Structures are given as structure tokens and as C-alpha cells.
Amino acid sequence: MELTNQIHPTPEQIQTIIKEYPAGQPVVMINLLRYKDKTGNGEETGEAAYARYGQNVLPFMKKVGARLLWRGDVKHTVIGTAEGQPHVMLLVEYPSIQKFIEMTSDPAYLKAAEDRTLGLEYGGLMASTTVYKGA
């Protein structure tokens, strides 16, 4: 999987997930995030810009019933190359793909998401269904 310089889905990717993801089923978005060393203005780190986005997105998540399940800092690549590895992984659950699209289409969300774009070198995002929940 090549993630370099990928931050936003293509229109084709959005149409595919709308058509093919099971309607009304919860979706867990797996986020693979790599921060820029410095943002475009060079005055802050990508991590700081993304942290601002993280705070500003919380009301939008609450509005659609989404929740952060897990966040972890990537420390070491055990299998594969460490070159370009993500800095952070997140698991965010949405009640449905429709709620995810509703949130990410909101003009106010899109304004808040400018900090996501500002802060990330790449932002891989994979939609997954839950097959197993541990005890």
C-alpha cells in the first residue's frame, strides 16, 4: 500500500464506499497518519496542526454518534520497512457509512478539516467491518 501524499479520498473512492459498504452497518475507520515535520507556513509542526483538528472534530463526531475506539503512537515497524511509517494509528467507529459521509460532507467540518490537511504528510483511511470483538 502506497500512502505518500494521500490525504483525501478521490470522488471514485467515496462513490465506491457508498455503493459497496453494507448500509446501516457500523464502520470502523482505520486511520494511518504521518505528520509533516512543519506545516506549510513553517511555524508549527504537523502534529500540532493535527491536534487542533482532533479537538475541533469532536463535536462533529458526537453529532453523528462516532467514537474514538483506540489511538496509538507507532514506535517500531516489526515486519516491513520502517521508511515512511505512520506516526499514529486511530480506530474510529461510526454508526454507519452514511453517518461518516454526513459528517465529512458538512461544510463546517470541511473548514475544521483544513488543519488535518495542513498537518498530514499522508492520511490513510480504511473502512472495516467488525468480525470479532474480544471478550
pLDDT of 53 over the 70 cut: yes
Q: Among the CATH numbers 3.30.70.100, 1.10.4030.10, 3.30.365.10, 1.10.1200.10, which is that of 21-128?
A: 3.30.70.100
The whole-number pLDDT of residue 1 equals 58
pLDDT tens-digit profile of 61-111? 999 999 999 999 999 999 988 888 999 999 999 999 999 999 999 999 999
pLDDT of 134 over the 80 cut: no
b/e for 8-30, b at 16 or more Cβ within 10 A?
Answer: eeeeeebeebeeebeeeebbebe
Q: What residue ranges do the domains of the chain occupy?
A: 21-128
pLDDT band at residue 135 under the 50/70/90 scheme? confident
Which conformational region is residue 24 in: left (phi greater than 0), alpha (psi within -120 to 50 degrees), or beta? Answer: left
Average of per-residue pLDDT across 24-38: 96
